[in-house]
Structure formats: structure tokens, C-alpha cells
Chain A
């Protein structure tokens, strides 16, 4: 049982929760995730990225969007309630240029929607390792931006906001400033985290420039420890398990179309489960 110590609604469907998990808080590194269960008897196991952690308080911060039944139920938990199970930290930590090998350089972080949340600890680590960090934050509209302040603290005036409707920052798609930055040259690495379709197009954008592009995937999982293979994707010519080999991969090698299809496998059941859960709160 993991007690919720803080909760905040960031936008219509996005919540931030700080949860007691001292062992995970002590071990986690940027890029890792946890598996969460709201009900240990009949609930499902869902992967969520760790947005932040405090060793002192023994807590981790999760930022999630209510996309299915479990996240909807989770959003109805309040401070003092507990999350039934949290397993982690799982997956390989992010390779931070300048810290884990190589010299610091120019890195562009692209965060789409709540993908900004898992990007935050990565951008922080990149900055701490001496990299020149530019952050592109994209959302459908102004109301959907999360952690703008925190990201500005890292990137300063190198924070580029972009919305589909122009309600904040530039109007357009994250791939537009990304392309301009690549064209201007000297980008050493791009890290993109967000909806799969955004990551796919970021990878397609950087490919002609030969800029290394790392993406963080959030496929369907059960155990999260390599046991089921439900999260498998094709990277280059190989099958990889997102839970243990990832969650980060070379965006230029991921078979995006296959991954998108695999992620849609349970769409009808998920929609029905969400509707059922919605009715519980009416």
C-alpha cells in the first residue's frame, strides 16, 4: 500500500500525485517507470513514468492522464488514500550525455502533452551534466500544458512553447521548431517523449539530419519485468521488450506502425471499461 501525500489537478484530465514509496524514491533514475495497481484483486497493471522523487520524503511523483478505467479510478483517490500496489523502478535509466559517457553537447528535449512529466527529470539530469538544453513543449491548447514553470527553470529562454490552436506560444506542431533546430545544425541528440504519433513524427523529422533521436515508449504491459512479452516491439531487425530493454529506444529504428497497432489491441475493451468506471462516479 502506498499512501498519497499530495494531489493536484493540472488540467482537465491530468493529475499530479505524490505517493509514499521510499525504496523506489531511493533507487529511481531519470527515465524509469513503475507499474501501478489500484485494486490488487481484479485491477489491471498499468505502467506510469516517474516524474520526480524525493529521497528525503520517501516519495515519488506520478503525473497521469485519465485515459482508461484505472487512471480514472486513480484520479478519484485523495490525499490519505492509498494506491494498492506500486512496483519499480523498472526499465533502463536514460543515458545522459556527458554523464554516462561522451562529452556534453546540444540536446533538444521534445515533450508532448503529459510527456513533459517524464521529460522533466531527464532534462534536469542533462542540464546538470553540462549539456546545452533546448526544450520544446507541445500541447493541443494552453490549458493542457503541465510543468511549464519547472521546464523554464531548466531551459530558460530556450523553452519553446507550441500549441495546435496557437493559444500559447507558437501555433503548429512540435516537429516545426524541431526541424528548424536541426537545420540550424549542431544538435547532438533529440529526446522525444509524448504520444506515440508525436514521437514517430519527431523521429521522421530528425532522420534526414542524422541526429540521434531517443524516444521513451509506453506500450501495454503486465508484469513489467520481461515475463510476458506483451510490450514487445520491433527495433531494427530485432524484437525488443519495452519493459526491460527500454523504455527508451532509437526512434529511427522503431517500427512505429506496428507499435501503434499493437497499442490499439484492446481499444474496445478499454473503452467499455472506462465507461463502466465513469458510471461509478456519476
Chain B
């Protein structure tokens, strides 16, 4: 096929639940391609010799390689190629911000002068992961070395899998009663079905990984106990960015103000959406303001709609352009009825005599000079205050690293933001203790965490050879 012919192949639309219907249910919004669609979409790939898409992928998946297989309808072969470098394609196909990674560099998108018309790499990846079979994983002969993995989010899952494949005896520790980390407590069912995460955890168990839930490393046992008393040869810390940031607003501790973590954990992990069945209560606000512009803010605002809110405002102090959320989530949130209030921010939350939220004063903003992040910084417009009638406020302005492990692990070096400092093999200042994911990077993405887990596993295997 000539490039011209490929350009003539129509972009495939991913089927999704109707916006009005889905805004009130928990089922997955995006339904995924059909086999035919996946083949057609994959055949739009130009097979550029320079493979620019790969430079945009944090784990450098051989994208043209797997797309070529998918275009032939060989989804098993495609999945095998993806799995050479990525452990969680069913997850990443759903949650990666492709328009800022692989698809941003896609030649097709460039030729069409529209990044939205790039090859839908993530969607084809998702199809391959959901329907392909990469075959049995073969583990290396047992090394007799024991590795403890702390935290069962994307970094931990990946590190555990790679360590098990390398022949180590792996135990995965999770503080919650269910493994999966942010994939189960944070990202909602309608965006990432929990059965997919469970499949990954079951896959780990098949590889011989032992999963210990209800185990808070740092409190139940310390990292040093693992190495000195419990017979582990190496430890990987992937405890994530689980410390919600608040804004320091007056009224932020009123009844009806939640961190997005709390709001989403109640709804997702604790199943508060199963009214009358789940014991964890939920705050059913009617007029909900969500503060923030990332994926978590999108998740929280869409969850609010699903749990009965009549009005949901998403308040972000920059403009749509600067919003860090995945494009598809922004699109979905808007279609479902979330009202986007851009270049605005909360100034003060008001409470009634019972301490419940009864309104919020906001300020309007304009964009000034670019700041350190390269984004134009928002500047408040003096005198632009206005009132918003809300009964619930969800703060989704990011997470700081969880300090529990650094605070309970003597000699573990952290930077001034509390992130664990690691070398190029992801080893920390303590020999044999590795770290990766958000606890190292600060709040980032699933795929970056996965890449870190993978690099750490390689580092652990190298380190254990010297022992």
C-alpha cells in the first residue's frame, strides 16, 4: 500500500456506551474495537522505518511491529511483541495518555495535520491485550533468592512479574485488603474494569508470586526486618504517591470536602456504589465541585454523576489546552454532562451551622508567562470573585509521595519532595533496597511506573548475582 492509500483508510471509531445512559452506570464506557476495526486501524500504520512513535512510548514498545501483526489479524503475535516490553497492555491501552506519547509522534497524524487522526495505537493495543494470547510465560530456573515487593500498584506488579520470571521467590505486600493499588482504589470501574486488574494479579500468582494483603510495610514489619530477619535478599518499594494534597483553602476541612482519593476509594474499592449492599457509606452530593484538571479530577467528576449528582463542575485554574488529563477522558466527561469551568479556582469554601459545605467563592484567572513546567501560569484576576452553589467539594490537585516507608526506614535517602532517590538501576541509598514508580517520580502515569518496576527488576537480578 502507498502512503496515499493508507491515508484513505478511515479512522475507526471506538464503540462506546451512550453518554446519557453511561453517565448513570458503572460499566465500562469505551467498549473496544471489533476484530475487523482493530485490523483496519492497524493497517493505517505507515511502518515508518524511523519508528517515531516508539520514541514517544516510555517503555519503547515495538509499535510498528505489533501493528503489522494486528493488521494481518495475528493478534496473538501482536500481543507477544507488546509483552516483550510492556507487562500491562490491557491497562495501558485504556489509561495511557496516548495523544501525548506514541500517537503524538505518529506520521499518519502529522500527515493528516491532526493528532486525533494518528493511528489509534492504544485502542489496537487494548484489542490485542483483551483478545490475544501471548502464550505461557516461562520462568528462569529458581535462583533461591527471595524478593519482597512493597505495594501492588503498576510498579509493584511489574517488578514482581519480572522478578518471578527471573527465577526469584517473590512475595508482594499490600496494605489494603485487595491487591492492585491505584488500579483498584483510584481508577473507576467505568474506565478500567477491575476484572482486568484481577487477571494481572492472578497471572502473578500463576508465576508463583505470593500475595500478602493487609500488610503495612513500615508498620507491620519494617524494610530492614525483611533484609535482616525475614530472609529476603532484596526489597522493591513501590508505594506510590498516596498522600493527597490539599490546597490550604479556608473551609477545606468542612463536612462534604473530600480528597479525590477518599471519594474514589469509597466508590471503587469499598464499592459504595452498591447502595444497600456495601457497608462503606458515600456522600451523595447534589451539586459537586471537583478541583483539578488531571485524570483523577475527571474520574471523580464522572463518579459524582454516576452516584446521583445533579450538577458537577470541574474547576481548573488554567485552560483546556494546559489540562493534564487524557483527551479521551475530557471528551467523555463533557459528553456525560460535567460542566467545565476553566480559568477559575476556588478561593474559599463556605459551611452552614452544622459544618456542611453550602457554597464556594471562586476567582477568575488569566494566563500569564510560562512557568517552570513550560505551561503558562495562571494569574488571579483581582476583584473577579463569584459564588458557586455547591454542597460537595472534591480536591483533586495531586498527591505527594507517601512518607511511611522513608519515615520508618533508617538510611533511606529522599529528596526535598519526599521522593526516594535511586541510581540508574533504581537502587536506593540502601544496598539491596530498590524503589520505583510514583514514590520515586512523584505523581506520574501507569506506564512510567511500569517502566520503573521493570528497570528495578533488572537491577535486582543484577544485584542478586553479586550476592
Which residues does A use to contact B, with CB under 8 Å?
Answer: 23-24, 27, 37, 39-45, 69-70, 84-90, 222-230, 232-234, 239, 244, 255, 257-258, 261-262, 264-266, 269-270, 273, 276
Contacts and interface: CB of A to CB of B under 8 A. Distances in A.
A257 B354 CA distance: 10
A166 to B, nearest CB: 34
A229 B261 contact: yes
Interface stretch (B63-71, B87-95, B174-182, B437-445): B174-182
B279 A27 contact: no
B258 A230 contact: yes
A41 B261 CA distance: 19
Interface of B: 175-178, 185, 213-216, 219-221, 242-244, 246, 252-256, 258-259, 261-262, 265-266, 270-271, 274, 276-283, 354-356, 402-404
A269 B282 CA distance: 8
A262 B255 contact: yes
A85 B253 contact: no
Given A42-B271, A222-B265, 13 more contacts: A27-B221, A42-B277, A43-B280, A44-B280, A84-B177, A85-B214, A88-B219, A90-B219, A225-B219, A225-B242, A229-B258, A239-B246, A261-B354
B213 A23 contact: no
Contacts of B246: 229, 232, 239
Contact of B178 (A40, A69, A266): A40
A19 to B, nearest CB: 13
Contact of A270 (B256, B281, B354): B281
A73 B321 CA distance: 51
A37 B133 CA distance: 37
A23 B221 contact: yes
A84 B214 CA distance: 10
B280 A222 contact: yes
Nearest to B407: A244
B280 A90 contact: no
B8 to A, nearest CB: 50
Given A45-B270, A87-B175, A222-B262, A229 B244 contact: yes
A195 B258 CA distance: 24
A38 B266 CA distance: 17
A69 B280 CA distance: 10
Contact of A223 (B175, B271, B274): B175
B258 A226 contact: no
Contact of A226 (B214, B242, B266, B276): B242
Contacts of B221: 23, 27
Contacts of B354: 261
Given A85-B177, A88-B216, A222-B262, A227 B244 contact: yes
A88 B265 contact: no
Given A44-B270, A89-B219, A239-B252, A228 B265 contact: yes
A70 B356 CA distance: 26
Nearest to B269: A222
The CB with the most chain A CB atoms within 10 A, among B262, B279, B354, B403, is that of: B279
Nearest to A46: B279
A247 B349 CA distance: 27
Closest 6 pairs (CB-CB, A-B): A261-B355, A269-B281, A228-B262, A266-B281, A227-B242, A229-B259
Contact of A258 (B214, B216, B253): B253
Contacts of A39: 279
A240 to B, nearest CB: 10
B258 A244 contact: no
Contact of A23 (B185, B220, B254, B255): B220
B271 A228 contact: no
Given A261-B355, A262-B355, A229 B279 contact: no
A39 B213 CA distance: 14
Contacts of A70: 279
Contacts of A270: 281
A68 B253 CA distance: 24
A138 B78 CA distance: 70
A95 to B, nearest CB: 16
